Structure 1
Amino acid sequence: MTLLPLPVPAGPADDAPPYEPWEGQAAALAAAGAAGRRAAAWVRSLPAPPLRVPVGAWLAGELPAAIETAMGSLDPEECDCMAPDGRAVEGTGGVDAATMSTLAAVPVVLAEAGWLAPDQQARLLAVASAVTGAVRLIAQDPGTAILHGLLARLCAVLDHAARPDGPAWCSVPPNLD
């Protein structure tokens, strides 16, 4: 049995219609970038370790930079698509592999961040998960993410997780007796 590949479609590669942004896309992406900047600022505000350790420097530098970069780089044009030869191409959502790798390291690195309170550690996990989710959402289904508010919901989760520390944000009011 002989298998022959299907011919490549005729015409230049730029035969595809020009990209047209979804309604509200600019506002949604601007809000995502702002949420990323707020989350990065919160991560930078976390307490430093009592002794200098590599994880402390990573939490103060690389991680917040990755959060800002990912949320500020979201690009619906970089979504899943089909290559001219018919192969499925996984989209990046506009975020490079190194940034995604930094975000993926959060669960492993937190084991070494014993100076952080459990609440802070859980919120760091939520921040990394929300950012990673936003990137995958834009890469896999940008229209739904933008038009149906899914990106906005992830930004709300990101804002909640990256809220400032302190008694004003406690879920249990202090006893003032």
Structure 2
Amino acid sequence: MTIAYLPLPADDVPPYEPWAGEPEVLAEAAVAGRRAAAWIRSLPAAPAPRPVGTWLAGALPAAVEAAMGSLDPAQCDRMGPDGRLIEGDAGVDAGTTSTLTIVPCVLSDADWLTPDQHLRLLAVASVVTGIARLLADDPGTAILHGQLTRMCATLDHATRPDTPGLASEIEHTL
């Protein structure tokens, strides 16, 4: 059996129109990303210089902040001109996604962190990559039905400060 993909007419591609409430939801996500990045930066440093310690203090929080700040529902899954599916990235570039996906692989080297901190870092990486995938798969449902907002609440819960005094420090840096 032969499948022939029919090209889509180039003139029939409508311009992207934002969903109701999209700017507010995306702004909320960017703020949640900054709070998560601030929490990661607040984690204890390695007792001695180590590559994973440097990565946890710099690349990981930067990736979380970049991913949550660059979310773009217009970059969703769509049909290409040749009729094939183009997988969207929700505005999160491949390098950022790669940084988030290696979190489970590198946490075993961060032995100075508590198991609770390990779990919370895993949750952060999972939620952030999940948000991007959700927006790429179905931006309308994610925005209109509050799924993105609920995932941001999960991100906030995972990155809650370990000590009450730290909460005001994190809020002050934002």
Amino acid at match of 1:120: Q
Q: CA deviation at 1:118?
A: 0.8
Cα pair distance change 1:9/1:125, threshold 3 Å: closer
Q: Does 1:69 align with 2:66?
A: yes
Residue among 135, 152, 157 paired with 2:154: 157
Structure 1: where are the runs of 5+ without partners? 170-177
Looking at structure 1, the residues matched to 31 and 121 of structure 2 have their Cα atoms a distance apart, in angstroms, of: 17
Residue among 123, 129, 133 paired with 1:136: 133
Q: CA deviation at 1:19?
A: 1.1
Match of 1:175 in 2: none
Tell me whether 110-119 or 15-24 shows the greater mean CA deviation.
15-24
Deviation digits for residues 14-33 of structure 1, max 9, x if unmatched?
43122111100000000000
Cα pair distance change 1:6/1:91, threshold 3 Å: closer
Looking at structure 2, the residues matched to 168 and 155 of structure 1 have their Cα atoms a distance apart, in angstroms, of: 22
Q: CA deviation at 1:103?
A: 0.2
Aligned length: 166
Percentage of pairs with the same residue: 65
Looking at structure 2, the residues matched to 54 and 6 of structure 1 have their Cα atoms a distance apart, in angstroms, of: 48
Looking at structure 2, the residues matched to 68 and 138 of structure 1 have their Cα atoms a distance apart, in angstroms, of: 17
Q: Does 1:46 align with 2:47?
A: no
Looking at structure 2, the residues matched to 4 and 110 of structure 1 have their Cα atoms a distance apart, in angstroms, of: 45
Cα pair distance change 1:33/1:52, threshold 3 Å: same
Match of 2:82 in 1: 85
Alignment of 1:11-22 (within 5 A): 13-22=10-19
Looking at structure 1, the residues matched to 94 and 161 of structure 2 have their Cα atoms a distance apart, in angstroms, of: 29
Calculate the TM-score normalised by the size of structure 2.
0.90
Looking at structure 1, the residues matched to 5 and 91 of structure 2 have their Cα atoms a distance apart, in angstroms, of: 30
Indicate the RMSD between aligned Cα atoms, in angstroms: 1.7
Deviation digits for residues 27-53 of structure 1, max 9, x if unmatched?
000000000000000000000010100
Alignment of 1:95-114 (within 5 A): 95-114=92-111
Amino acid at match of 2:45: A
Greater percentage in helix: 2
Looking at structure 2, the residues matched to 59 and 4 of structure 1 have their Cα atoms a distance apart, in angstroms, of: 47
Looking at structure 1, the residues matched to 49 and 3 of structure 2 have their Cα atoms a distance apart, in angstroms, of: 61
Amino acid at match of 1:164: P
